[in-house]
Amino acid sequence: MNVPIAKTLRRRRGMSLVEIMISLAISASLLTAIAAAFSASSKAIQVNDEVFRGTQAARVTMLHLLTEVRNGTIDPNSTSTAMRLITSGTGGVAPDDRTYKFDTTTGHLLLVTNLVTTDEDYPLARNIDLANSRFVFDTGTGPNGAPIVERVIVKIAVKVGANTINLTGSASPRQYITYQ
C-alpha cells in the first residue's frame, strides 16, 4: 500500500511553536516561584540567626553582670547608664575595679577596666536599645552608716532588625567592700 507522503508527515509532526511557548512560560513561572520561595526561606534563616545571636549575647552579658554583682560591691554613686563595681578578689584572683556602661555613641554595653586605663573598652553586647536599657539600684545603709547598694536590677534591650529582645535580672552583692 502506498501512503501519501503528506499524510505521513502530518502524523509524525512535533509540538507547535505555540505549545512550546506555553510550556516555556509555565516552566518560567514555576522556576520564578521556586526562586522566590528559596529567597524567602534564606532570608528567614538569616533573620532567625541574627535574633539568636543577639539573644545569646544579651543572655551571656546578663549572666556575667549578675555574677559580678553577687561577687563584688557596687559604687553607690553609679548611675542608670554606668555601674561601677569592685570585685573582692577571692580565690587567688586579684581585686578588680571596673565599670559597665551603656555607650550612647556606639550603642554597645561596654566593660571598662578602671585599673588599666591603656586597654580598650570591651563591648559585651551590641545594638543596645538605650531607651530601654538601664541599671536600677536599691540603696540602703551599711554597718558603718555609709550608703550601700543592696540590689541591682539590670535591664538590657537588644535590637535585632525589627525585633527587640528585652532581658531583666537582679542580684544583690554578698559582701561590701569599702570604696576609696
The mean of the pLDDT values for the chain is 86
pLDDT per residue as tens digits for the range 16-49: 889 899 999 999 999 999 999 999 999 999 989 9
* 148-160 mean pLDDT: 92
Give residue 137's pLDDT: 94
Domain map (residue ranges) of the chain? 34-171
Answer whether residue 146 shows pLDDT above 70: yes
Answer whether residue 140 shows pLDDT above 80: yes
The model's confidence at residue 9, banded by pLDDT at 50, 70 and 90, is: low
Which has the higher per-residue pLDDT, 180 or 5? 5
pLDDT per residue as tens digits for the range 95-110: 788 999 999 899 999 9
Give residue 152's pLDDT: 94
Give residue 166's pLDDT: 93
pLDDT per residue as tens digits for the range 161-179: 888 889 999 999 886 655 5
The model's confidence at residue 121, banded by pLDDT at 50, 70 and 90, is: confident
CB 132 within 8 A of CB 110: no
DSSP, residue by residue, the chain: -PPPHHHHHHHT----HHHHHHHHHHHHHHHHHHHHHHHHHHHHHHHHHHHHHHHHHHHHHHHHHHHHHHTEEE-TT--SSEEEEEE---TTPPP-EEEEEEETTTTEEEEEESS--SSPPEEEE-SB-GGG-EEEEEEEE-TTS-EEEEEEEEEEEEEETTEEEEEEEEE--SS-----
Give residue 6's pLDDT: 58
pLDDT per residue as tens digits for the range 50-101: 889 888 988 999 998 999 898 888 988 999 999 999 877 666 667 788 999 9
Q: Could you tell me whether strands 82-87 and 97-103 are parallel, antiparallel, or unpaired per DSSP bridges?
A: antiparallel
